Amino acid sequence: MALLQISEPGQSTPPHEHKLAAGIDLGTTNSLVATVRSGVADTLADENGEHILPSVVHFADKDEILVGTPALSHATTDPLNTIASVKRIMGRSVKDLATLEGYLPYKFIDNESHVPRIDTAAGAITSVEVSSEILKSLRERAEASLGGELIGVVITVPAYFDDAQRQATKDAATLAGLNVFRLLNEPTAAAVAYGLDQQAEGITAIYDLGGGTFDISILKLTKGVFEVLSTGGDTALGGDDFDREIASWILNQAKLKATNDHQMMRRIMKEARRAKEALTAAEAVDINVVLNGDRHFESTLSRHQFEQLIETHINKTIVWCRKTIRDAGVEVREVQNIVMVGGSTRTPYVREKVADFFGKQPLTNIDPDKVVAIGAAQQANKLAGNNPEEDMLLLDVLPLSLGIETMGELVEKIVDRNTVIPVTRAQKFTTFKDGQTAMRIHVLQGEREKVADCRSLATFDLTGIPAMVAGAAHILVTFQVDADGLLSVSAEEQNSGVRASVEVKPSYGLSDSEIETMLKASFQHAEEDVHTRALIEQQVEADRVLEALRSALAKDGSLITKEEFAKIEQAKSILLSARQGNDGEKIKQAIKSLENESEAFIARRMNRSVQQVMKGHKVEEFE
């Protein structure tokens, strides 16, 4: 018997006006879909009553594709055609697989494209296609439960997903027939689920440890507005690592090494995962697994042993917590709430270490597997227009700074790390040489000062710049980052209106540890980078002054006396010598000396130019 929802007049949306929307947590290990019904957000179950969909796809052939639990049953019998943890390779390049291949029991096809393709019985399959099958299954579940087509969804991603990984996620959704309202950072979705938007203000830490990714975000809440002050994390750290530690322990105890016996390794990994989950409540668990042939391995793993195995991984998350709090400009004691997200936070030792670091018990009253999907559903419901009276704003931030290459192979940052998105920022640049008619715009991502130490995102050319003297062109470079963290860059010469642009949609992303490495390097080399940048800027300025002087002498050398020329040449020689050294202050002084010696010559050039402009005119015409 159905229940009727009773509400105050005017407070409920007529059924025919309610728009169907959903939130999707596309996870490494498991995925869920949730929606808001009768004002309550909850996850949706399949026909068997299961809310969690294992993020596993089995490709028997092109006409037989299994998703979820049915696919999981093939993991040990047909591992090469059963794709799990595909989120780890979303948006990654072929060369990135070198750091992942030991954990991925698949065959990758050699191809000229940057996009890795997995060899399956159904043919060559990309990670986008695998993810689209998972999203398609969730879409069908939602539409069957709600009795109609979804008008849009909010899909969550790790806060530290880069442009390529976010774009790959959107591509997978499009392939699955979904309209994406927006991508939402998983920690931000968790804050919504916990109702933290109802508080007036406060600092909250979202500790999200899933199957394959870890994120820590520091959120500031002010009158229902979420602002992510800072984010940190590792896109290749999670519960899967706990499973591998137990699997390694089993192999060591059995005196075996990791092999290419994929079926045996899948059996061991399956037993490792079972043991990990059992140790959430039990003090010890019996291990029993078939190795090879008729050989069995039996032993007992205690919770204490398990904690020793995973301690290094948990400590990595605490290091990230410390860094991210420092980036946010707050103290640990200022954090009022710690929200635990992701199935791996069920591990008692994880909760213990987090509580020790923050000095207070974390929030764990919502199912950590469901919390992200529930928050996404609430946001999707709002974006669908079902709750226009609610005022909730979600502000995410950029994980790494964005900028362009300037002279001397330096990086000029235009949008700083941890800037709230969506955002548009612009900065003016100019030409370096007389008569320059084109400029190459090299878009970069990273925290270091030199191009070689940052990541290249895109390159495009601005052509058709009118030939002018160096410095006369006004080129406005604009960076626009949308709510999903996707970037577009444009450049316009404002005198002529010539324009060029690029959308940064790379086909591959950062390697597992690249973001972490980039941030560590920026901290470790901060002082060195400041010195290097100051030196290179002086070297570039020296080059500019020397080029301008060469051009001036070529055009107006008749205006200079022999004595002046000798003094200028001497000062020029001193500058050229200083330019080759590593003393920025010495270069600066040499530039000043050359400018002083050239002062009279420059003044005569200016006078001649003024005379030429005024020839045939009266002074009154210029008033």
Both 438 and 502 in a single domain? Answer: yes
On whether both 533 and 563 belong to a single domain, the answer is yes
- CB neighbour burial string for 40-79, b if at least 16 within 10 angstroms, e if fewer: ebebbebeeeebbbbbbbbbbeeeebbbbeebbebbbebb
User: Would you say residue 360 lies in a domain?
Assistant: no
Whether residue 230 is contained in a domain is answered as: no
Angle in degrees, 0-180, between the axes of helices 599-614 and 584-597, rounded to the nearest 10: 50
pLDDT at 518: 55
C-alpha distances (whole Å) from 348 to each of 21, 161, 306 are: 35, 27, 11
Verify whether residue 588 is a known catalytic residue.
no
Q: Identify whether residues 513 and 409 lie together within a single domain.
A: yes
Catalytic residue among 186, 241, 369, 512: 186
Cα dihedral 462→533→516→83 (10° resolution):
20
Query: In which domain, by residue range, is 305 found?
Result: 239-309
Determine, yes or no, domain membership for 357: no
- CATH code where residue 584 lies: 1.20.1270.10
Quick one: 411 and 551 in the same domain?
Answer: no
- CATH number for the domain harbouring residue 264: 3.90.640.10
Residue 188 and residue 190: Cα distance in Å, rounded? 5
Task: Measure the CA–CA gap between 9 and 552, rounded to whole angstroms.
Answer: 81
Residue 379 shares a structural domain with residue 513:
no
Domain C-terminal end among 523, 538, 573: 523
C-alpha to C-alpha distance for 365 and 206, rounded to whole angstroms: 14
For residue 197, give every residue at least 6 positions away whose Cβ sits within 8 Å of its Cβ, in sequence order, or none: 191, 221, 224, 226, 392
Q: What pLDDT does 610 receive?
A: 53
**Pair 605, 559: CB distance under 8 Å:** yes
Check residue 508 and give its pLDDT. 37
Structural domains in the chain (count): 4
Determine whether 186 is an active site residue.
yes
Q: Residue type at 175?
A: L
CATH number, domain of 415, equals 2.60.34.10
Rounded distance, CA 12 to CA 40, Å? Answer: 13
Which of 287, 309, 331 is the last residue before a domain boundary?
A: 309
Q: How far apart are CA 383 and CA 390, in angstroms?
A: 11
On whether both 533 and 486 belong to a single domain, the answer is no
Q: Say if residue 519 is in the same domain as residue 562.
A: no
Dig out the tokens for 212 from the structure.
Answer: 């394959």
Task: Say which CATH number the domain at 126 has.
Answer: 3.30.420.40
Q: Tell whether 129 is covered by a domain.
A: yes
Residue 418 structure tokens: 């941890």
Give the list of residues 6+ apart from residue 11 with CB closer than 8 angstroms, or none: none
Rounded CA Rg of the chain:
30
Q: Which of 46, 87, 405, 537 is catalytic?
A: 87
Answer yes or no: is 286 within a domain.
yes
Asked which of 309, 324, 356 is the last residue of a domain, the reply is 309
Indicate if 504 and 534 belong to the same structural domain. Answer: no
Residue 433 annotated in active site: no
Are residues 124 and 107 part of one domain? yes
User: Longest Cα pair distance anywhere in the chain, in angstroms?
Assistant: 107
Q: Are strands 393-397 and 225-234 parallel, antiparallel or unpaired?
A: parallel
Same domain, 377 and 266: no
Asked if the structure places residue 335 within a domain, the reply is no
In a domain, 88, yes or no: yes
The reply to whether 531 and 513 lie within a common domain is no
Query: 169: which 2 tokens?
Result: 């996620």
Along the chain (623 residues), what's the average pLDDT of each consecutive run of 10 residues?
38 58 92 91 92 92 83 83 86 66 63 74 87 95 93 88 84 91 86 74 89 85 74 84 93 81 84 93 92 83 96 95 93 93 92 96 89 93 76 62 84 82 85 83 85 83 85 86 80 86 57 51 61 74 79 75 80 83 82 80 67 54 46
Give domain status of residue 206, yes or no: no
Query: Is 25 tagged catalytic?
Result: yes
Catalytic residue among 163, 208, 512, 537: 208
For residues 305 and 445, membership in a common domain is answered with no
